[in-house]
Structures are given as C-alpha cells and as structure tokens.
Amino acid sequence: MNTFKKGGIHPKDNKIYSAHQPIVECGLPKQAIIPLAQHIGAPAKPIVQKGDKVKVGQLIAEAGGFVSANVHSGVSGVVNKIDATTDAWGLRMPAIFIDVEGDEWVEEIDRSSDVIRECNLEPKEIIDRIAKAGIVGLGGACFPTHVKLCPPPGQKAEVLIVNGVECEPYLTCDHQLMLEHGEEIMIGIQIVMRALGINRAVIGIEKNKPDAIARMQELAQKTLGVEVKALKLKYPQGGEKQLIDACINRQVASGALPISVGAVVDNVATIYAIYEAVQKHKPLFSRVMTVTGKQVAKPGNYLVRFGTPLTQVVELAGGVPEGTGKIIGGGPMMGRAMNNIDMPAHKRTSGLLFLPEEESRRGIEENCIRCGKCVSACPMGLEPYLLSRQSELQMWSEMEDHHVMDCIECGCCQFTCPSHRPLLDYVRQGKATVGGILRARAAAKK
C-alpha cells in the first residue's frame, strides 16, 4: 500500500464511536443564522432585506469576487435582520437571520431519491452550475470549487485526485457518505472529469475503511478511467500535497499548487455536492458532520442545514457529556477549541469533538531538548522548532525565508514534542502575520 514519503505521524484514529452510524437528518431550527463568510476569499454580499420571504435553496448572498462563493438559504421563512453574529472563537462575522416558517423549497430542486446518471453538459456549463450552487471544498479549506476547476493559463489538469482519506482522528462523516452515496459520488467524479477535460481519476482511501474501499472499487470497475487506491494509515494524508504523493507519486514544489503537477484534488463530500448541484439543481446549503467523543451518548453523523445552531445538533447526540474539558470544532489535530456552541453550522463545520477533562489538559511546557522529532514528523519538510522560536521573537522576515507559508497547520510537530511546547500555536500565529505582510506587499505593487 502507498503513502506519502515525507514526515507524518500515526495517532490513534478513534473512529469507532461514530463509524457506521447512518446519516441522520437534523431537524429545522426556529431561527437560522447564515454567515456570509463560509469560505476562503471575499464574504458574500447579501441580496435580500429585512422582511423578505425566502425558500430553501434560494440565493440570499452573491459571491463578493472571483475567489468567493454564493450563499443560499437552508430554510424557508422571513428575513429578520442582516447583522453580525459571533463565531465559536469570539470573532464577529456578518450573517443573515431568518425566522423559519415551514419547509418550502425552490421549485427547480429535484428532491427525489432517483440517481441521475447522464450528464451531457459542456465543461463551462458544469463549472457555472458549481459556481451558482456555492460549492466550496468540504475537506476543511473551503476554497471555492469553481476556481479550482479553472486552471490558470499555461497549466492543464491531467488527473483528478479524490480525497476519501479522512485521516483526522474521530471524524467519520466522509466514510459514511461513501457507504450511503457511493454511486452519486462516482457520478460526481465523472462530472468533474468532464469539466476538466481529463480521463483519469484516483480515489485515495485509507485502509481503516475496508468497506468504503470495497464499495468504491466495485463502482470503479464499472467506470472508465477511475481507480481506487487503498493507502496506509498515516496522518496528514488528507493534505493535498501528501495525497498527490501517495496516489500518483508526484511531489508539489514549495509554494506551488497541485495543478503544477497536473493534479486537481477534491474531497468526497465536495464531489457529492457537485453531483447534487449539477444533476439535482441543489445548491450547497447542508452537509454531513460528525458529533463524537468517548463519552458522547449518541455519537453519529448528522445532515445539518447551514444556519442551524450547533446546540440543536448536540441535543440529537445526547447533549454535552458530563466531565467535558474541551469542545473541538473539527478533529483533534487540525480543529480548534470552541468558546461556545451557540454558533450556527456552516460550510466549514465538519464535526464536533467532546474531549473529557483528563484528555484536554496540555502538558507542562518545558525547554526544547533539540530531539528533532518535530522536524522528522513535519510532512512539509520544515523546521517547526525554529519557526516557533522565530514567531515568538517576531522575526517575520526570517519566517518567510524559512517557508512558513508552506505550513499546513497539521499539528504533527506539537503532537510529537516531548517537551509539550506549543509549536503549532506559535507557527500558526507567525504564518498569519507573514501572510498579512505578503498580501500587503502584493497590494502595494499593484
């Protein structure tokens, strides 16, 4: 079995709590709070006003630029206000507040369970539908998908890499999606191949999902140009550059994008959303998320409409377990501790993890012993101990010189550090600062 070559770790996957739990649809909220910045890039611009009536699937905010995404209502009702809301980390963000009345959908959405296999659209028509539907990468980055499917001049896609790895511990929503909607995902893959003008796709799935591997291999045998690769367990194999290395043995250079080696990478949940958008005219207004933890009463995979308070999803899972020390948005490696769960679900919401008190305490920070474990573990070939110290000392130009922008914030360095140093915290802060400096520098040149 293949895997990527540089760095990586083997944390316990802890999938058993929510694995193979069927997807359960979460009920409607009384009020939906729909953020306008659910993606990388410019926030969407509202096109509705207070008092307007909206339906499920209706466009309520348009993309604010090329690197942006449309936002649609996941509920029907009346717009109460357009105001700021607070996210799980205390930051303010603009949102549309909708008082829910019934469940009326826009007429063009095909709500049947019929699987639509044929797609004769031209590539531009496919990409236009994807853009119209507001689809973004659901593997974590939330980069607008229509942008990714339009390679820059002089570069051409050769292969589609489909990310079914789900290497983040605890999370199982992608696994369950492959089991329940594998056929639709396979059709979505063919649609993306058609949009890119390519005839090859590789689906990467880690070997701890043997049933998903078997299901997708069965479907791939009937689909021209699609193959499934069972991969060794290794975190962070779901990273774009790591997955490309594991699946097709090509290495993306520092600062380069996957398209530089002819690859486009999409998560299985994104592919499923593409199927629904192109074949069912359904915009992206809901997603499957995992609610899990060792003490959660009903861990599972829940289909949640954007704008639904996370507290409502948690109630479905049996409530906040007694003795919870931290609630993580996402998984334990790349997720972040949340201040509250009153915030709404949105396109970035892949999961909620409840860590017991004894597992949520950090070790006491000690001096670096120069063991080099963080260097060996880094999948990007960086020197986390050095970048961390440079960030602490605000040595921004030195961080830039040492390629801090290549960091994918996977947490391998912090996980392996025997001195319990907050390496990722410092590197993440430094990366954000250096990124701001680079953007300001680029703007000054225009």
Give a yes or no: residue 191 inside a domain: yes
Quote the CA–CA distance of 189 and 162 in Å, as a whole number.
8
Task: Answer whether 39's CB lies under 8 Å from 146's CB.
Answer: no
Quote the CA–CA distance of 343 and 329 in Å, as a whole number.
11
131 shares its domain with 269 = yes
pLDDT band at 114; cut points 50, 70, 90: very high
Question: Tokens 């430094």 map to which residue?
Answer: 430
Quote the CA–CA distance of 89 and 208 in Å, as a whole number.
32
133 shares its domain with 262 = yes
**Is a pLDDT exceeding 90 seen at residue 88?**
no
Quote the CA–CA distance of 407 and 108 in Å, as a whole number.
42
The domain boundary, picked from 280, 315, 337, lies at: 280
239 shares its domain with 383 = no
274 shares its domain with 386 = no
First-to-last C-alpha distance (Å) of the chain: 48
Mean pLDDT confidence for 133-158: 92
Q: Are strands 324-329 and 351-356 parallel, antiparallel or unpaired?
A: antiparallel
pLDDT band at 93; cut points 50, 70, 90: confident
265 shares its domain with 382 = no
At 206, list the tokens. Answer: 């880690």
The domain boundary, picked from 280, 304, 332, lies at: 280
**Is a pLDDT exceeding 90 seen at residue 92?**
no
Give a yes or no: residue 179 inside a domain: yes
pLDDT digits (tens, 9 = 90+) for 262-290: 999 999 999 999 999 999 999 999 999 99
Q: Which residues contact 257 (CB under 8 A, 6 or more apart)?
A: none
Give a yes or no: residue 365 inside a domain: no
pLDDT digits (tens, 9 = 90+) for 21-69: 999 999 999 999 999 988 888 899 999 999 999 999 999 999 988 889 9
Say what percent of the chain tops pLDDT 90.
Answer: 89
Residue whose C-alpha is closest to residue 289's, from 333, 349, 229: 349
Give a yes or no: residue 246 inside a domain: yes
pLDDT digits (tens, 9 = 90+) for 387-441: 999 999 999 999 999 999 999 999 999 999 999 999 999 999 999 999 999 999 9
What's the one-letter identity of residue 422? P
265 shares its domain with 392 = no
pLDDT digits (tens, 9 = 90+) for 2-15: 999 999 999 999 99
145 shares its domain with 264 = yes
pLDDT number for residue 446: 72
262 shares its domain with 387 = no
Give a yes or no: residue 331 inside a domain: no
Q: How many CB atoms lie within 10 A of CB 101?
A: 13
pLDDT number for residue 443: 87
pLDDT number for residue 176: 98
127 shares its domain with 228 = yes
Give a yes or no: residue 386 inside a domain: yes
239 shares its domain with 130 = yes
Mean pLDDT confidence for 238-258: 95
In the chain, the number of structural domains is 2
Task: Answer whether 392's CB lies under 8 Å from 426's CB.
Answer: yes
Residue whose C-alpha is closest to residue 359's, from 311, 323, 330, 320: 323
Give a yes or no: residue 388 inside a domain: yes
Give a yes or no: residue 367 inside a domain: no
The domain boundary, picked from 247, 280, 313, lies at: 280
239 shares its domain with 380 = no
CATH code, domain with 237: 3.40.50.11540
Mean pLDDT confidence for 175-196: 98
User: Could you list the residue range(s) of the whole structural domain that residue 380 is in?
Assistant: 373-445
